[in-house]
Amino acid sequence: MATARLRSPLIRVIRDGQEPIEIQTSNPDLVLWDKTRARKRPPWPKFDEAPFLWLSFLAWSALRRTGQIPTELTYEQWETENMDVSAVDPDSDDDETGNPTRPEAGAG
């Protein structure tokens, strides 16, 4: 029986008019995704069927959890913002700055 290898992604969020943010997601963000997805009617697609929805949700959850966006900001409000959300490969030296070092994690 094959087991799924899930990793909490490091996500880069670039919002209009703001500095890019890299946020490390963690178990509370993944659990919140699972619970929220299951409550939706009809249920949201699986994470691998809708990767942009999944990444956007995880970014929103992690940024709220760490106090980098207001806790009052709903996901529905968040997803309508003009932004770019992408997973960052921490093992890659290919980022927008050409810097091969991973940024230090923020407080949280």
Domain ranges of the chain: 10-88
- For 48-107, the three-class secondary structure string (H helix, E strand, C coil) is CCCHHHHHHHHHHHHHHHCCCCCCCCCHHHHCCCCEEEEEECCCCCCCCCCCCCCCCCCC
pLDDT digit string (tens) for 3-29?
Answer: 555 678 999 999 999 999 999 999 999
**Which pTM was predicted?**
0.77
Which pLDDT score, from 0 to 100, does residue 2 have? 55
pLDDT digit string (tens) for 39-98?
Answer: 998 889 999 999 999 999 999 999 999 999 999 999 999 999 999 999 998 776 554 443
